Amino acid sequence: MDYTSDIRAVAIDLDGTTLCSDGTMGEFTQNTLKLCRDKGIQVILCTGRSPAAAEPFRYLLNITGPMVYYNGAAVIDMPNGTLRAGSLVPPDIIQGCVDIALQRDIHFHSFLPGDWLVYQKERAETALYESRTGLRGRVVDMKALFGYGDGKQTGAIKGMFIADPAILDEVEKELDNRFDGRIYRARSHNNYLEVMAAGVSKGQGLSVALQLRGIPSEAAIAFGDAENDLPMAEVVSHFYAPANAIEPVRMRSYAVVESNDDEGPARFLWKLLQE
């Protein structure tokens, strides 16, 4: 493939891929992605983050059009904020997740339509998540919020457990036993376990975003580092992983580039742009 002429879109994960470990986007990455944009290669955010948490980077790059948020649970046209596609996790599943979190005394939060972040109580993980994303949630009675009757939530965009990886291994098994076939779950970090509606994934969201942009999947490439990025590999022509990616992602990638802290994805793109 002659990348400079055939690639029309590049899908980028943020955390662990195009962001450094401190949560910032390096200057070289910024310049390279802007160059992609200027050369007519559309840059598509494909992130587990909410629109608000990803907005500083979208704004920084001055990129527009359908973007993939919440691991594919929402495809939103930016910057106007129009929802183009989305799926909600049913209320009973969110209630079940709250039960699991309370029984194990671990953190669980969910995002409501409108980008509202809610959780059962303040915990150490609450502050850590806020510092990482810049989002401030609110304490609610989540069991009641996702109950039944007038005024109750009809579902959540996604839920997330934050806990020790070994505990999340057990939570995954419990989720599968309770909700087999009704959810899509994935790790976005080793201590983040995200729960979305069945059929949701970054791959599905990216496929929708590409269709909305009029770009065939074979004219797109993608970069990702974690389990939740793997579905993108089923959509694009070539999927690349930074050296810091987990082993299953590195094994599935077409090639491994330098790490996120070395701005590997951007350095790889820069070389392609020079061809």
Question: Higher confidence at residue 189 or residue 8?
Answer: 8
For range 256-264, the mean pLDDT = 98
pLDDT at 151 (0 to 100): 56
46 is written with which tokens? 């494909």
Q: Is 92 within 8 Å of 162 (Cβ atoms)?
A: no
Question: Higher confidence at residue 31 or residue 275?
Answer: 31
204: pLDDT strictly greater than 50 = yes
Q: Please, what is the average pLDDT of the chain?
A: 93
Cα 240 from Cα 220, distance rounded (Å): 12
pTM for this prediction: 0.90
Cα 191 from Cα 123, distance rounded (Å): 15
Cα dihedral 203/209/212/217 (nearest 10): -50
240: pLDDT strictly greater than 90 = yes
- The angle at the Cα of 236, spanning 66 to 19, to the nearest 5 degrees, equals 65
Residue 260: phi and psi, rounded to 5, are -60, -40
Q: Is 95 within 8 Å of 159 (Cβ atoms)?
A: no
Is residue 1 very low, low, confident or very high in pLDDT (cuts 50, 70, 90)?
A: very low
State pLDDT tens for residues 148-170: 666 577 889 999 999 999 999 99
pLDDT at 3 (0 to 100): 52
Is residue 5 very low, low, confident or very high in pLDDT (cuts 50, 70, 90)?
A: low
153 is written with which tokens? 């939530």
Q: Is 21 within 8 Å of 183 (Cβ atoms)?
A: no
